[in-house]
A and B are shown apart, each in its own frame.
Chain A
Amino acid sequence: MDILSLLIVVPVLTILAIAFTKNYKQVRVIAAIGTGIQLFQSFNLVWQYLQERAAGNTAIMVFTKSYIWFEKFNIKYDIGVDGISVALIALTGIIVTAGVYASWGVKEQAKEFFIWLLLLATGVFGFFIAIDLFTMFVFYEIAVIPMYLLIGVWGSGKKEYSAMKLTLMLMGASAILLVAIIGLYIYSNPQGGPLTWNILELANVTMPIEMQRIFFPMAFVGFGALGALFPFHTWSPDGHASAPTAVSMLHAGVLMKLGGYGALRIAVGLMPEAAQEQAWFFMILTAFGAVYGAFGAIMQTDLKYINAYSSVSHLAMILFAILMFNATAMNGAVLQMISHGFITALFFSLIGMIYGRTHTRDIYKMGGLMKVMPILAGTYMVASFASLGLPGFSAFVAEMTIFVGAFQHPDLFHRVATILVASSIVVTAVYILRAAGILLMGPIKNDEFKSLGDALWYEKVTLIVLIGSITVMGMAPLWLSDMIMKSLTPMLQGFVTL
């Protein structure tokens, strides 16, 4: 079995093992073991990848394998990874592990819960290793469908409404996306001959510009909707608010990154000419979205809504950076995917832990939690600092790379838009500190909260894993940044700057 396929096989085996368990205690132990192996595999992959590169392998994708899957349409199980996908696989491994420990307390229908959760993870891993568009799309759908059940069954609040809304909007987006992918396939061989879904082969073909003009926006919006592109982001606040903790973590932490990854690799990567033509329009949307999301977060009182709007703002930066056609900015985009994945997962896990104790997410009903639960509150403070882009944490590295990269664009319009996006960091400080101030500081508002306990051991595992990742990336970003950069170079060589 090759190193990449194991990334799908292990979660599937874990799911099978869980199916034979008897009670929730067995379920979570098996889930922890399975994701533990998966985490090890993800890190091992990064290590192997770096070894491979150090050994002088300069292929765009390494560890490639290809099996015919559906011959008539030339659909293959084509897999391979480069620095970008390796980094995102490591992210996924970490978030899934943290998510399992964050769900340690799930007792109702635990078996089904973990099965769906791991199926979602399987889809994500598959998506990141696939280099065949169709296979990629299949994995994408595998990742999205469990969401409906996870929110609808284990969620809270108006969960049916949110689950339905999320699924319908994402399905709508993937329908548009499917059209774009089929378009790429049909025009994959202008000279005639066999058609292909393979990304590497598609990258060498130039699709007729008229067709690109139609399919690029479809692909960008299709992926963008998953990456909270304004105005297609509205599923996300409701969806997150209703989702159980681990699902929010996985969803915001990883699933939404599929959008950015797809937009980079497929929309912009395969249709660069149209992308450059139409970039101005999407730049306005994303730059606006970055500021708008931040302002939207200021007035929220529900912790999950604050975080959801914050994600809208931070994810807009990813799509914004992708449109810059500049290695530095695109590098920043990938770094931001990873960084936001860690930080938002940390936030959602903390919100889940706090909610589990206080049974409210309304910041005005809480206050002074720092005195009651110093570890959870202290970690929330750290997460806040990380999210507002403080040096030493990952978001700073990512955002600065985006700003510096985007600002090198010779066109004035791009630079002005960059300043607009950069100004969102001030607004971010406002809503983050406002929420943290009300929630954690000041006098204790509710006497019942005085007896609440602090973090339990499995909660600490989640927090340590995520904070560790955030600080390591924030303090020593060089290796990660260089690894991604080297994989972006071949992609950018294909682009002709207009």
Chain B
Amino acid sequence: MTMDFQYTILIPILLFFSFVYNILWGRTRSPKIAGLISTTTILIAAVLSYYTAYQYFFNVGLVNGSYEKIIAFKMVWLHFSDTLVVDMGILLDPISIMMLVVVTTISSMVHIYSFGYMHGDDGFARFYAFLSLFSFSMLGLVVSSNIFQMYIFWELVGVSSFLLIGYYYQKPSAVAAAKKAFIVTRFADLGFLVGILLISYVTGSLDFAVLTDPNGPVMLQGASLGFMGLSVMTWALILIFIGGAGKSAMFPFHIWLPDAMEGPTPVSALIHAATMVVAGVYLVARLFPLFHIAAPNAQYVVLAVGGFTSLFAAVIAITQIDIKRVLAFSTLSQLGYMMAALGASGYGAEEGIGYTASMWHLFTHAMFKALLFLGAGSIIHAVHSNNMTDMGGLRKYMPITHITFLIGTLAIAGIPPFAGFFSKDEILVALHQSSHFWYWVEVITAGLTAFYMFRLYFNVFWGENRHYHHKPHESSLSMTFPLMFLAFMAIVSGGFFMFDFGAFISSNLVPYDIHIHWDIAGLSIFVALIGISLAAMLYLKPSGISTKMATALGPVYKATYNKFYFDEIYLFVTHKIIFNLIARPSAWFDRHVVDGFMNMLAWITNFVSGSIKGLQSGQLQHYAMSFVSGAVALALFFLYFMTR
């Protein structure tokens, strides 16, 4: 049965109008109106997305055994040349529909939550305007039918992220964090752009339909052209992956994400945990056939970077004290899992389990990580501090936050029957099939994850009872409702789909059955339990063991706590090298050498004219004198020649 999906254009358009209205007129109206407009539009978008998902999966369903890619809408935006065309379109396929659901769900929850969290803030309307802008851009990104369209929205989510990180613009640290996030990702986006340029040059197309057709001519193009031992297509995809790594904060571009926690907590939940940061993963998934078939080397890079980042970030997360930063590093680590799964995946139904697992983990992670962040926001709202050293024993004061946070923690730790267990298990299965080395890395990471998450949980909700200036109390319903909803999702999105996620999403659009591999799952549960027990030993009751261990480890602890000094390295490169060795000298060179040369020309002209201007003194005697001597000289001259 064919379906007309043209109405889906409304999803981004509505949000765009909400943004325009709020940014232009929001300030002058009551803040509530701005909030209501944004929230209503995102809820409508969510309903439309669910409806689309229902129609797509159950009404249109399979055609000849596989899902179709449907172009619901398409218009030409710009002609570069006859073949290189930028379309604005809406591409509906399983992953884009899944993303529609994820983005609108999380975004709706964050909108509702912010009513409570941002209550009374000066920039309430501005906040909601930017949320709408972000949702618009993110939805535009996921439905892109053209790689250039994706790049356009890619940049727009980047700027929304900038605006929201720097929301408290009077705070210098927030401004610095916003700038850092923008510039680091912009640098990575240059890779994306050059990658697009290479692709456009090699294939002569920007259309995803052409680029990802596994049987199309694109798969072979650029294979013959080589550069430094790798084909041009490999280079192009590595460059595009750099763009994805920047957005998804993969090592070594990870440095912006922890700082991005300067933004309001609902923003961290929406942008820097659940949706925008998965754009890099989504990009690789979107181009997956190209990665797997045309450039296996580039796919290996994805695996290695993803795998390394997940371990690296997990190690750092153990030592952090700011609860939002612990969560930020855990986001990095989980994104690493998703990337690694894509890197390890094959193409096909069962062979492509990594692909399915990655998307599944994207889905479940969005739910439980948004839950954890919003929970953290609820805690921060009550305690007025980000540091877990200022917290303890909060379970008594905030029962809903406590229970929902525990559900989120269990989900991320990979304990059945919570969502994270299922998706993580499939990732480990995919890695087990592809590379034992990265499999073990991720098993270890799973243990670390359980440890640092329960360290956080015990420290905040158990541990020492603090003396609080104001007695902490549970947040209002607008904040607890999203927590409960997301907790519900964190339970069902794994178990509910238990053997079904493959029925919706697979690398070649052909559905298949997913099974739990108890040998692998058993090990990962075991590792997670070890992590939890260790954390319980150290942090459930106040004990000095952890401090002693930190002192005993000395420099190792310090290096980890300081995130292995990557921020310092970047500062050194930007300020010492780029600013002092390139920018300052070029400014100096321009003023003194280039301009100096021009001024010297002027000076010489001036000097010469100054030296000879004495000849025109305006005094008659001088003129007469010159005239007479000239005449005499001429006379002598002519006489001399005439008489020869």
Q: Which residues of A contact B (CB under 8 A)?
A: 165, 168-169, 230-231, 233-235, 237-238, 292, 295-296, 298-300, 309, 327-328, 368, 370-371, 374, 385, 390-392, 396-397, 400-401, 403-405, 407-408, 415, 418-419, 422-423, 425-426, 429-430, 433-434, 437, 440-444, 477-478, 481-482, 485
Contacts and interface: CB of A to CB of B under 8 A. Distances in A.
B179 A478 contact: no
A295 B170 contact: no
Nearest to B227: A412
B76 A478 contact: yes
Contact of B582 (A295, A401, A426, A485): A295
B182 A433 contact: yes
Given A295-B587, A433-B183, 8 more contacts: A169-B598, A234-B598, A391-B151, A403-B193, A403-B197, A407-B200, A415-B197, A426-B183
B78 interface: yes
A235 B27 CA distance: 42
A441 B123 CA distance: 14
Contact of A408 (B176, B200, B578): B200
A478 B77 contact: yes
B207 to A, nearest CB: 14
Nearest to B170: A443
A168 B602 contact: yes
30 contacts: A165-B598, A165-B602, A231-B597, A234-B595, A234-B598, A298-B583, A299-B587, A300-B587, A309-B587, A328-B80, A368-B170, A391-B151, A391-B152, A391-B155, A400-B148, A403-B197, A404-B200, A405-B81, A408-B84, A415-B197, A425-B186, A425-B190, A430-B183, A433-B182, A437-B175, A437-B178, A441-B166, A442-B169, A443-B172, A481-B79
Nearest to B171: A442
Interface residues of B, number: 49
Contact of A296 (B78, B176, B587): B587
A234 to B, nearest CB: 4
Nearest to A168: B602
A415 B598 contact: no
B577 interface: no
Contact of B78 (A169, A230, A390, A478): A478
B584 interface: yes
Interface of B: 27, 76-81, 84, 148, 151-153, 155-156, 159, 166, 169-172, 175-176, 178-179, 182-183, 186-187, 190, 193-194, 197-198, 200-201, 578-579, 582-584, 586-587, 590, 594-595, 597-599, 602
A295 B179 contact: no
A407 B186 CA distance: 20
Contacts of B153: 391
A422 B183 contact: no
A296 B602 contact: no
A442 B197 contact: no
A434 B80 contact: no
B201 A408 contact: yes
Given A169-B598, A433-B179, A422 B169 contact: no
B79 A231 contact: no
B155 A477 contact: no
A429 B193 CA distance: 15
Given A165-B598, A425-B190, A478-B77, A442 B183 contact: no
A441 B262 CA distance: 15
B78 A477 contact: yes
A404 B79 contact: no
Given A292-B586, A328-B80, A328-B81, A422 B190 contact: yes
A433 B256 CA distance: 15
A404 B583 contact: no
A231 B587 CA distance: 13
Nearest to A327: B81
A238 B586 CA distance: 16
A47 B187 CA distance: 41
Given A374-B27, A429-B183, A422 B77 contact: no
A390 B193 contact: no
A299 to B, nearest CB: 5
Nearest to A424: B190
Nearest to A428: B186
A235 B590 CA distance: 11
B598 to A, nearest CB: 5
B228 to A, nearest CB: 14
Contacts of A434: 179
A419 B194 contact: yes
Contact of B182 (A299, A403, A429): A429
B583 A391 contact: no
Nearest to B584: A299
Contacts of A237: 590
A480 B584 CA distance: 39
Interface pairs A-B: 7 shortest CB-CB: A298-B583, A234-B595, A391-B152, A441-B169, A407-B197, A295-B586, A441-B175
Contacts of A397: 78
Which of B182, B187, B578, B590 gathers most chain A CB within 10 Å?
B590
A390 B169 contact: no
A430 B186 CA distance: 10
Nearest to B605: A168
B159 A385 contact: yes
Contacts of B598: 165, 169, 234-235
A380 B567 CA distance: 29
A404 B586 contact: no
A179 to B, nearest CB: 18
Contacts of B169: 370, 440-442
B279 to A, nearest CB: 15
Contacts of B183: 426, 429-430, 433
A268 to B, nearest CB: 19
A429 B158 CA distance: 12
Contacts of B84: 328, 404, 408
Which of B175, B176, B178, B578 gathers most chain A CB within 10 Å?
B175
B186 A401 contact: no
A469 B125 CA distance: 26
A397 B79 CA distance: 11
Contact of B80 (A292, A385, A405): A405
A443 B169 CA distance: 8
Nearest to B602: A168
B158 to A, nearest CB: 8
B246 to A, nearest CB: 11
A482 B79 contact: yes
Nearest to A232: B598
B78 A422 contact: no
Given A299-B583, A485-B79, A391 B170 contact: no
A423 B190 CA distance: 7
Contacts of A419: 194, 197
Nearest to A374: B27
Contacts of A295: 582-583, 586-587
A39 B289 CA distance: 52
A419 B578 CA distance: 19
Contacts of B78: 397, 401, 477-478, 481
Nearest to B194: A419
Nearest to B594: A231
A434 B198 CA distance: 31
A390 B178 CA distance: 16
A391 B175 contact: no
B507 to A, nearest CB: 30
Contacts of B186: 425-426, 429
A400 B587 CA distance: 27
Contact of B170 (A404, A408, A442): A442
A292 B172 CA distance: 29
A447 to B, nearest CB: 15
A408 B84 CA distance: 10
A396 B201 CA distance: 20
A96 to B, nearest CB: 26
Contacts of B172: 441-443
Contacts of A442: 169-172, 175
Nearest to A433: B179
A404 B201 CA distance: 8
